Structure formats: structure tokens, C-alpha cells
Structure 1
Amino acid sequence: MPATDAAYSRYVALGDSQTEGMGDGDDTTGLRGFADRLAEHLARENPGLAYANLAVRGRLAAQIHAEQLAPALALRPDLATVVVGVNDLLRPRFDADRVAGHLEAMFSALTAQGAHVATLTFPDPARITPLARPLNSRVTALNQRIREAARRHGVTVAETSHHPVVTDPRLWSPDRLHASPLGHQRIAAALAHALNPPGADETWTHPLPPPTTPTPTGWRAATGELRWAADFLGPWLTRRLRGRSSGDGRTAKRPQLVPAGVPSRPVPRPHDEEG
């Protein structure tokens, strides 16, 4: 749909770890993330903007729908971001239509109440880590359903999937699943560009300067892949086999509307959480 430059007073973010802000800060000092950064950008032109972030890491689309939609509606946002689906993509029984059904239900409920809703598409994971190549068709299917659902409900889509810069390794944290601080900055800028407030532009699509160190190739690249698998993929698979999630025992970092300039408080880490 056409971008808008409307003013906002209440912004609510729904989603999983990316919206929570993992990769941008930590659980001791507090997570920032693209939603915090977007709220700060919008608050420059909307000084009274209040912002809530209901996202919790590890949540699937069905859980976000069941746990976050009703609290979001109760806050009566005039702007909401809904970014879901990555955790579903990683599950063996991924069903793009089922994920899209939950996404569309959230789009429908929020827009029916008068909120302007924004979302985004996801990049090709094989360009971030070669081991993720089997997920490419899933991402393509999910992105297409995101676009279709957004079209039906007048939802703004930030098309991050189209631009080569989004797979630059410097935009991703070492786990290659969560954005780095620079990546979260670019995501926020992409959403701002789609929403079209004053000061937003397309510079988020521009490539980064050439890296100061060469990209590893050959055995160095293979060693890096093995190290990533041991440090991140292995623990993730272990949690899945045990039926556990990184979000077990966690709650939203910002469940109530608070002035956008007020930092989010760190969420206590459950004592029994792994990795």
C-alpha cells in the first residue's frame, strides 16, 4: 500500500526475539533492537509517543497470536509492528499457510481497531550462512504470504528481502539469526522509510563500505562454519530435542505503554534457562 506520514501517539510491537532486540544489547544492560530504535525515530516528530514491546524470544506465530494480540488490542495502538515467522521456519513441520493464518488474524484485528500496521519480508538465509540453504524455499513462501495478507488488510510492508545489503555479515550477530546493532538500525530505518515519517529515506538500502578484512575462503570459511555449528546450531538443536525454548519463563520487556525515550528494563533471566 502507499506509504503514510501520519502522526502516531501509541506504538505497540509484537513478535519474537528480533523484535525483543536480541543482538542489540544484552540481558544485563537491557536489549534495544529495531522496535526501540523505530520508536525513538518516530518520537522525534511525535514527542508524546508512548511505546510498548510485547515480543518474547522463541515464540512461534501461534504463540504470538495467542499471547500478544489481546494485550496489544487492549493498549489501543495507532501503530503496530507485527514481525513473526522465523522461529516457525526453523521447525521441521513448517506450514507457510498456518503461519500466514496467524499473521493475517493479527493484521485483521489490529487494523479493524484502527491501527496502522507495518511488517517486513525476510532475506535469503543462504546468503547469511550456507548451511541454511534448505530454508530458502520456506522463506520465499512465507514472504509471498506476508505480501498477500498485507495487501488484503492495508498493512505497510518494508521489503527488506530485495536489497543485497541485508545479508552483509556485519548486519548480523555471531549467531547469524539475530541482527547486530547495525542490523537493527537498518531494520528500523527500513520500517521508517516504509511508514514515511519526516527524515526517513532510502539510505538504509545502501551498501556498507568495503570490509577492512578479507572475507574468509577455503578452509578458513569451512572452519568458521564448523565453529558456528558448534557454538550456536548445536545448543539450539539440543533445546529443540528437549522440548525447550530460549523464551521459556520469560515475559515481555515493555508490557505497558511508556514514553518512547525511556529505556526498556532488563528482563530477569530464568534460573534454569540454557544458552
Structure 2
Amino acid sequence: MQNNSEKALALLIDGDNASPRIIVGLLEEIASYGVASVKRIYGDWTKPNLNGWKGCLLEHAIQPVQQFAYTTGKNATDGAMIIDAMDLLYTGRFAGFCIVSSDSDFARLAARIREQGVTVYGFGERKTPRPFITACDKFVYFDVLNHHATHDVETHRHRIDRTMSRGLSSGQPVQTLDEQDLDKLRNAINASSNEDGWANLASIGAHLAKQASDFNARNFGYTRLSDLITDSGIVDVEWVGHHPKVVMVRLKK
């Protein structure tokens, strides 16, 4: 079985819907999933809106793909990305696809790739439509990538205040853990727990990934799910074993 460091990934970036400021954080994130053996970015490179990308393409070995706009109001870039993605999928070489866009047009592509048993990682803005987010196995927001690349969130972590929103040191907003998020945690714990109500944190994380592809501890200013779930105030926590220790949690009664 391949470990993450050996998994071949295809990285496809919608240049019209992403900023070059995310590239360092994006590539660091993707490196934890596998090796991006294909890295392509799509757009009309004759237009000035993509000038910011040109400086980092050579540095990060990203191949620009030129796609002229055929007519006003139609996005030919999306079509080119989808065609290339399907061509790459049919080679059978890739364990996963990384689709970088905030466009709902890629929802069906993500679903089709998953139908083939291949993992889809999505990356986009907070405004990304839910159909694309839920079509991915995992979805990461751009602001999380930016913060993770330049800051150690752990040094800024504190207990969640449900009445006040918190901010990252970078000045970007941190999502507040609301009642809907707490319900997702409770459901994951219940689904993963034994007869005594105790659940392995790893099992909870796996269930959350299936239940909500964009549920990520970093959205709330935490680097680890264990810190988030402890500070949520809804669980009792026990550390079991020695090397390694296993985190077990149980909903408070």
C-alpha cells in the first residue's frame, strides 16, 4: 500500500479563481497528501488579471495552459480544465486530484472523479458554493492555507468564546464554532463511540471527513482536532497508552 509521500496527485488550478498568494500554503498542504506530479494552471495569459501568477510559475514548476475566451460571458477555462482532468483520470496514474477554484462548475467533475474511486481535494474561497465543497472528499479554504503557511496557530490558541468572533494574527477572520458545528462533533462522536460512550479521536476525524468535507480544525484557529474538541467544552477526554498515546473522548452528560 502506498503511503502519502508516494501517492501521485494531479494539481489543476483555475487561474481566474485563485490568487498567487496561496501558492506556498497550497503546495505545503498538498505535500501532506502526496506528490503533485502534474501541476497545471489554466487561463487566458494575454489578460492582465493573471500577471501576478507569472512570477511564481517557474519557481514552483507549474505549467501554464493557455485558453482564449471564445465569447464574452462564457468561461472557456473551466472547459479546458475539465477535459484535461478527464484525460488524466483515464490514465489511471493518479491517486488523487487537487482542484483549485471557487467555481461551482467543478462540482460534477469532482463527483465524477470520485465515482472512479479517486480522491478529490478541493481548495477555494469561503464563498465557494456548497455543491462543489460537498462533492470533494476534503475541502480547504484559501485563508486557512495563507495562515498555515506563515503562522503557528498554536501560539495564538485560546478557549472558544461563543459570544465573540476571534481573529488570526494575520488579520484574517477565524470561523466561530457554532451550534451547527457542535452538532457535527456530537454526531461524529456518537457514530464512533463504543458501548460506554468513548470514541477514538482518529475515528471521529474520519467520520467528520465523510460527514462534512470542509470541517477543519484550522477553520477555527486550531492546528489539531484534539485541541478543538477539548476546548469545545462538550466532551471528557482521556489519553490511553504510552507510545503512541491514543486520545479517547466522551460526550459530557
After TM superposition, the score normalised by the length of structure 1 is: 0.35
Higher normalized strand content (fraction of residues): 2
Question: More helix by proportion, 1 or 2?
Answer: 1
> TM-score w.r.t. structure 2 length?
0.37
